[in-house]
Structure 1
Amino acid sequence: MVTRLFGPEKDVRTRTYRINAWSFLAIVIFVVLASYSREGTAICVRDDSGQTVCLPAPAKRIVTLSPGATELMFSAGAGDQIVAVVAYSDYPPAALELPSVGTNTRIDMEALLALKPDLVITWVTGNPPAQVELLQELGLPLFAIEPRTFEGVSSAIERLSALAGTETEGFAEAERFRAGISELSEQYRDAEAIPVFYQVWAQPLMTINNDHLIGKVLQLCGGMNVFGGMPRLVPRISAEVVLQANPHAIITASVDGVSDDQLDLWKSYSGLSAVKRNNLFFVPASSISRPTPRLLEATRLICEKLDVARERL
């Protein structure tokens, strides 16, 4: 009797144990799969500061903290997902309609936080480190950009489009820029080298070295940057060293590329090769100074300016 009772009770306990074991295993498998699913659908991209940024889903509320970042987001096909920009975000025209959260050097934190962004695009060397650190401490997803090469521009567009879920538009635009630069590079591969001075600012007098993206534009066009070997990205120099370098062309940026008084200083030095040959050139400021697809237009224009300078040699 006891045996009969013990036998079925043992079977019940065994079956219960097995059911509980399978239930536990099922829960473990579910948790693992759920974790893997979240990990698998997360969007992870490395930014230009070397940090990997992961989003659980494509960003829908984006704030850009530089005019270049604004333009790049539009290029990536995510203009409709931008909820705020900073001052001087003037391209494309639609950017002018967006609310501002200050300037790239003075961000209105209260206004930015009130927008509840799910992604903030920062500028590596253009935003104050203290404000960027505060945004990090507040837990906002930050993606830092600062392309230093032509490929870096294409890559930035592709990475931003991945974060915004607009890969179709972004990758197409990145490839268009890549192909255009490649075509110009081939066209000017054997161009006669010509000494060039690029003037960033007149007072104080500033230029760029070959590590700067503008320096790479000059090189692509066959220009020999007379200050390309300087250690600083944007060094301050004196008029005397420019005269010693004796460039055959001087280029600077202005609003819409219209001639102004920025290069008047050099006109008094009639012996300077660039002055003697009237090789004082202007290019549009926003397209040459921002690492965006419009850099292709600016590069083409600088190549044409240097062609004119070669003809005048």
Structure 2
Amino acid sequence: MKKYFLLFFILTLFFFSCKSEKKEFSAFKIADDTGKEFSFDSIPKRIVSLAPSITESLFAIGASENVIAVTDYCNYPQETNSKIRVGGIIDPNIEVIASLKPDLILTTVEGNSKSAYQSLINLGYKVFVVNPRNTDGILKMLGDFGKITNRTANADSLIKKIDSTRNFYNRIQSDISTRPKTVVLVSLNPLITVNSSTYINEIVNLAGFNNIFADESLPYPVINGESVLLRNPEYIILISELADDSGEYLNTLKKYFEGTDALKNNKIIIINSDILSRPGPRIIAAIEYLFSKK
């Protein structure tokens, strides 16, 4: 295993350097993830980010100075504390956004509401939509943001790092014949997991786990105790916001998972909700954390 980490360390040093980037800007056109085409004749200087994953991505490529406002849920990196807040993800304050006179608003397909999107469109704002549902989607988003903010070199460096991380862990998994059966829980009441179409499932696979509910038809299916017992997970991955300090979550796990190998052997992995659920640059941290817990 040491040879894998040595190789990854070398790749990380070689590929990643997020430096200040200043270069001449040329006008261009680009399509967002809905297929809508946008023209950029100058670098946006008053960007409003309506999703934490977007905010993290902009800061990661060194474009924080282009961002004037973020949502109440944008809490990483710490420098986001200096930005104006525009309310929630689903229900941003349109009046506050309008008062800021943004030259670009960045939003997502899954996290933001259609009504908020339409309100901003009706007011004449340039609203660019992203939909990063997997690693390739994250790489595209970073590339688009790099071009829009004139931080292409920084974005390319981060893209290479994420891609090399994915390739590194894929190589590890190719050498392993079996992976531990695992259930990922994003809700305890009701019990909700993830299927193979989700971003979370890709992280779990790269970290070397086998999602036992990958074959479900819905992206976030509700499951029951009987189906859990039948599939008998060896690991339980639980997002941190469900693991309250009172320990009540343990009683819920005992209710549904009593008799499973995961509970018998205390194989419960609690991971930071933001790291696991936000499709952005911290995908690397999510994979590395889960891999270290096997």
Report the TM-score when normalising by structure 1: 0.80
Q: Compare CA radii of gyration and give the structure with the larger one.
A: 1
Question: What's the secondary structure of 2:85's corresponding residue?
Answer: coil
Deviates more, 1:156-165 or 1:166-175: 166-175
Residue 124 of structure 1 aligns with which residue? 109
User: In structure 1, what is the equivalent of residue 254 of structure 2?
Assistant: 267
The aligned counterpart of 1:210 is: 196
Whole-Å separation in 2 of the counterparts to 1:222 and 1:172: 25
Which residue, 42, 48, 61 being the options, matches 1:63?
Answer: 48
The residue number in structure 2 matching 1:148 is: 133
* Percentage of matched positions with identical amino acids: 27
Give the superposition deviation at 1:159. Answer: 0.7
| Residues 1:194 and 2:180 are matched in the alignment | yes
Instruction: Measure, in 2, the Cα distance between the counterparts of 1:255 and 1:237.
Output: 19
- Tell me by how many angstroms 1:256 deviates: 12
In structure 2, distance between residues paired with 1:151 and 1:141: 24
- Picking from 230, 248, 251, the partner of 1:244 is 230
CA distance in 2, matches of 1:42, 1:114: 27
Per the alignment, do residues 54 and 262 of structure 1 end up closer, same or farther by CA in structure 2, a change over 3 Å counting? farther
What is the alpha-carbon distance in structure 2 between the residues aligned to residue 297 and residue 261 of structure 1? 27
Partner AA of 1:220 in structure 2: L
**Cα shift at 1:88:** 1.5
- Cα–Cα, structure 1 residues 264 and 46, in superposed 2: closer, same or farther, change >3 Å? farther
**Structure 2 counterpart of 1:94, from 71, 79, 82:** 79
Alpha-carbon distance in 2 for matches of 1:257, 1:59:
40
Q: Which has the higher helix share?
A: 1
Structure 1 position 168 matched with structure 2 position 153? yes
Instruction: Give, as a single letter, the amino acid of the residue that structure 2 aligns with 1:217.
Output: I
Aligned positions of 1:63-82 closer than 5 A: 63-82=48-67
Shift of 1:115: 0.8
Does structure 1 conserve the Cα–Cα contact (< 8 Å) formed by 2:73 and 2:89? no
From the superposition, tell whether residues 256 and 225 of structure 1 become closer, same or farther in structure 2 (CA, over 3 Å): closer
CA RMSD of aligned residues (A): 2.1
Residue equivalent to 2:290: 302
* Cα deviation 1:209-267 (Å, max 9, x = unaligned): 11101101122233221111112211222223222221111101115999854343223
Partner of 1:33: none
Aligned to 1:85: 70
Change (3 A) 1:72 1:257: farther
User: Counterpart in 1 of 2:272?
Assistant: 284
Q: Which structure 2 segments of 5+ residues have no match? A: 1-24
Q: Does 1:254 align with 2:240?
A: yes
* AA matched with 1:240: E
Look up the SS of the partner of 1:44 in the other structure: strand
Instruction: Go from structure 1 to structure 2 and tell me whether the alpha carbon gap of 1:158 and 1:257 turns closer, same or farther (over 3 Å shift).
Output: farther
Cα pair 2:162 2:281 within 8 Å, conserved = yes
Work out the CA distance in 1 between the residues paired with 2:253 and 2:134. 30
- On the 8 A contact 2:182/2:209 being kept in 1, the answer is yes
Q: Residue 90 of structure 2 aligns with which residue?
A: 105
CA contact (8 A) 2:71 2:88 kept: yes
Which secondary structure state, in structure 2, belongs to the residue aligned with residue 49 of structure 1? coil
CA contact (8 A) 2:242 2:249 kept: no
Q: Deviations over 1:111-137 (max 9, x none)?
A: 101111111110101111011012112
Q: Which amino acid aligns with 1:212?
A: T
How far, CA to CA, are the matches of 1:271 and 1:204 in structure 2?
Answer: 20
Q: Structure 2 CA distance, aligned partners of 1:258 and 1:183?
A: 34
Is the deviation greater in 199-208 or in 41-50? 41-50
Q: How much does 1:201 deviate?
A: 0.9
Residue number in structure 2 paired with 1:133: 118
Q: Does residue 219 of the first structure (1) align with residue 205 of the second (2)?
A: yes
Alignment check: 8 A CA contact 1:77 1:161 kept: no
Q: Deviations over 1:139-196 (max 9, x none)?
A: 2111112211212212211111111111122221221222122212212223222211
DSSP 3-state at the match of 1:262: helix
- Structure showing greater relative contact order (alpha-carbon pairs closer than 8 Å, 6 or more residues apart): 2
CA apart distance, 1:300: 1.4
